[in-house]
Amino acid sequence: AADFPLTVTLRNGVTVPSLGLGTWKMGEDPHLGEREIAALKAGLDIGMTLIDTAEMYGEGGAEHVVGEAIAGRRDEVFLVSKVYPWNASRDGTIAACERSLQRLGTDHLDLYLLHWRGQYPLAETVEAFEELRQQGKIGAWGVSNFDLADMQELMEVPAGENCVANQVLYNLSRRGVEYELLPWCQERNIAVMAYSPIEQGRLIRNDTLVHIAKAYQATPAQVALAFLLEREGVIPIPKSSHPQRIEENRDAAYLELTDEDLEALDAAFPPPSRPTPLEMI
Ligand code: NDP
């Protein structure tokens, strides 16, 4: 994290780069494996040492790809994975974590997230997370796709306040979280990991982004990421299987948007003026 220009310090005291590497869609096609591994390694080489994966991605395939990419350099990486809600019972969470560790070729995750809410009581999942933490199998735990009411419920559960992150859909075209959830998390220093930060690639064709990018000889993807990086405690996790795009995304950390740019972005993508239910992809 020391190499990266922007960092976030989590509630457990660990400092991470403010921009991570996503891995959804990786590990699905064996022919692309080598390219995906190379892309992730290229990201690590330029300071993007936070990797976000999940048991869901490629049904374990993405974790295998990540395992290959981090082999021999586990200490450089802040590794995040997620448990399926239907595995998130007291014992199921522990078993799922052990399977993820096996695929990733490591003995610990830095952060383990409940992928979204399911049928098991939060208290059960949290109890399992706390046990994994005590065993050193995870450094910290968090949640994903939790709206404000879910977070409030979580805080009522024993040890619920140990949650360090909530990973949610957040980008210029999905700003609902700014109304309540983001400030609520910021007040408590719960990191907000912004998933699909360039709306799965769709934002790069937006005219306003194209226009702002031109003035800086930057790219629309960089503007979309810079918009998120401006915000305290927000960690966008763009995914790319191309080393040059990963470098482009990294360089968003050096792009500073002016008040004028931010006004133009607000005009094109109005911030929420009332509570909006959390969206999911
Ligand atoms: P992103 O917004 O990160 O967009 C990824 C797409 O954009 C890919 O098709 C990629 O193509 C393309 N892309 C990336 N960088 C550039 C660039 N600089 N210029 C042009 N195109 C680019 O979407 P994701 O949905 O992948 O979200 C990111 C990560 O968030 C996921 O990979 C996953 O780790 C996490 N996530 C979590 C969810 C949750 O429920 N917790 C849900 C969804 C995502 P290519 O690879 O070909 O370069």
Tokens of 159: 């040890």
Q: How far is 89 from 108, CA to CA, in rounded Å?
A: 20
Dihedral sign, CA of 123, 125, 130, 135?
A: positive
Q: How far is 193 from 41, CA to CA, in rounded Å?
A: 21
57 is catalytic: yes
pLDDT at 128: 98
Look at ligand 1, atom 17, and give the residue with the nearest C-alpha.
245
281 lines ligand 1 (CB under 6 A): yes
- Residue-wise DSSP of 184-199: HHHHTT-EEEEESTTG
- Asked if 236 and 16 count as a contact pair (C-beta separation under 8 A), the reply is no
Taking phi first (over 0 means left), then psi (-120 to 50 degrees means alpha), and beta for anything else, what does residue 89 get? beta
Mean predicted confidence (pLDDT) in 252-279: 97
Tens digits of residue pLDDT in 185-237: 999 999 999 999 999 999 999 999 999 999 999 999 999 999 999 999 999 99
pLDDT at 255: 97
- Asked if 197 and 236 count as a contact pair (C-beta separation under 8 A), the reply is yes
Quote the ligand 1 centre to 56 CA distance (angstroms).
Answer: 15
- Asked if 144 and 167 count as a contact pair (C-beta separation under 8 A), the reply is yes
64 lines ligand 1 (CB under 6 A): no
Mean predicted confidence (pLDDT) in 22-43: 97
Provide, rounded to the nearest whole percent, the portion of the chain with pLDDT above 90: 99
- Asked if 17 and 55 count as a contact pair (C-beta separation under 8 A), the reply is no
Tens digits of residue pLDDT in 138-162: 999 999 999 999 999 999 999 999 9
At 140, is the secondary structure helix, strand, or coil?
A: coil
Mean predicted confidence (pLDDT) in 108-122: 98
Mean predicted confidence (pLDDT) in 108-128: 98
Average pLDDT, whole number, for the chain? 97
Q: Residue 1 above 60 pLDDT?
A: no
- Asked if 124 and 90 count as a contact pair (C-beta separation under 8 A), the reply is yes
205 lines ligand 1 (CB under 6 A): no
3: pLDDT confidence band, cut at 50, 70 and 90?
Answer: confident
Q: Residue 2 above 80 pLDDT?
A: no
Quote the ligand 1 centre to 173 CA distance (angstroms).
Answer: 14
Strand order in the sheet with 111-114: 50-52, 78-83, 111-114, 141-144, 165-169, 191-195, 234-236
Query: Rounded to 5 degrees, what are φ and ψ at 7?
Result: -135, 160
Q: Residue 71 above 50 pLDDT?
A: yes
Domain 7-268 matching CATH 3.20.20.100: the answer reads yes
ipTM score of the complex? 0.99
